[in-house]
Amino acid sequence: MTTALLVENLSAGIDGKQILRNLDIEVPFGEIHAVMGPNGSGKSTLCHVLTGKSGYKIKGSAQLAGEDLFSLDVDERSRLGLMQSFQYPTEVPGVRLREFLLEAADERGIDEDVAEERIEREAERFGMKRFLDRSLNDDLSGGEKKKSEIFQIVVLQPKMALLDEVDSGLDIDAVRTVSEAIEEMRSPDIGILMITHYSRILNYLDVDRIHVMIDGQIVDSGGSELAAELEAGGYAALRERLGIEPEPEGGPMRKPSDFFTETPFDL
């Protein structure tokens, strides 16, 4: 089995609104793919639908290492090896990172000795030792939270990691650190889908393939030339090349949370 995640002809909607349209994505083991798209294009919805958040109407299929995801509950998908890092990791005062990880490892059937050994080794590698006995995400900076999420993924060793907006809200040094951490987590046993609306992280991270999502569709896939095109002309230039209608006046409908994640300059 060489494919970590295979999404075929996926459409999804909620509350009568169609968000994802006929999506195809294939992430082989050992590769890092990026999904790039403007705010409101459906990137987080893709994560929600794959991890099993309720309320969505879904058509199409998704497989994790050859197993059908949509017939499974959220926890079953997680045990099978799907993990997501969040745009806004939740702070959990009173629960230490180390204990949280041991519990999660136990749920996945990982032997306690093995889990403890991994926690020590990876904490050393990712510079997370001083956070192990602190509360999960509590009082961490944006960059530290994202690094903590990546550290958790490396310890729990899922088959597929979805990283939603892993670089938003980070200053440039933190983007570099988080990029290095993502590159460090690359292994033949995991597929990584990194979701972002900035192209800047791609200056620090070599991804195998970039997929551009606009209005719930993957409108183009390619290599670093696609990132360069977006860097130079933004999504507007890409829309023009592909003959997609320009964004409506005022842009897409935005949620309050978007105002905290938007780039202050045009892509």
- Is the Cβ of residue 119 or residue 230 nearer to Mg ion in the bound state? 230
Tell me which of ligand ADP, Mg ion, none is bound by residue 158, counting a contact when its beta carbon lies within the kind-specific cut-off of 5 to 8 angstroms: none
Q: Is 251 in the site for ligand ADP (CB under 6 A)?
A: no
β-pairing, 209-214 with 217-222? antiparallel
Tell me which of ligand ADP, Mg ion, none is bound by residue 84, counting a contact when its beta carbon lies within the kind-specific cut-off of 5 to 8 angstroms: none
Q: Is 157 in the site for Mg ion (CB under 5 A)?
A: no
Q: Is 45 in the site for ligand ADP (CB under 6 A)?
A: yes
Q: Is 253 in the site for ligand ADP (CB under 6 A)?
A: yes
Residues 193 and 19: their CA atoms lie apart, in Å, by 19
User: 140-145 long-range CB contacts below 8 Å, 24 or more apart?
Assistant: 140/91, 141/174, 142/169, 142/170, 142/174, 143/170, 143/171, 143/173, 143/174, 143/175, 143/177, 143/178, 145/89
β-pairing, 135-136 with 160-164? unpaired
Nearest distance from C-beta of residue 1 to ligand ADP, angstroms:
29
- The owner of tokens 């002809």 is 9
Q: Is 40 in the site for ligand ADP (CB under 6 A)?
A: yes
CA-nearest of 9, 1, 7 to 66 is 1
Q: Which of 37, 42, 44, 147 binds Mg ion (CB under 5 A)?
A: 44
Q: Is 15 in the site for ligand ADP (CB under 6 A)?
A: yes
Name the segment binding ligand ADP (CB under 6 A); options: 37-45, 108-116, 145-153, 229-237.
37-45
Name the segment binding ligand ADP (CB under 6 A); options: 36-44, 143-151, 170-178, 201-209.
36-44
Name the segment binding ligand ADP (CB under 6 A); options: 59-67, 78-86, 117-125, 247-255.
247-255
The answer to whether the CB of 8 falls within 8 A of the CB of 160 is no
Query: How does DSSP classify residue 249?
Result: T
Nearest distance from C-beta of residue 57 to ligand ADP, angstroms:
11
Residues 183 and 171: their CA atoms lie apart, in Å, by 18
Residues 191 and 189: their CA atoms lie apart, in Å, by 7
Binding site for ligand ADP (CB under 6 A): 14-15, 17, 19, 37, 39-45, 252-253, 255
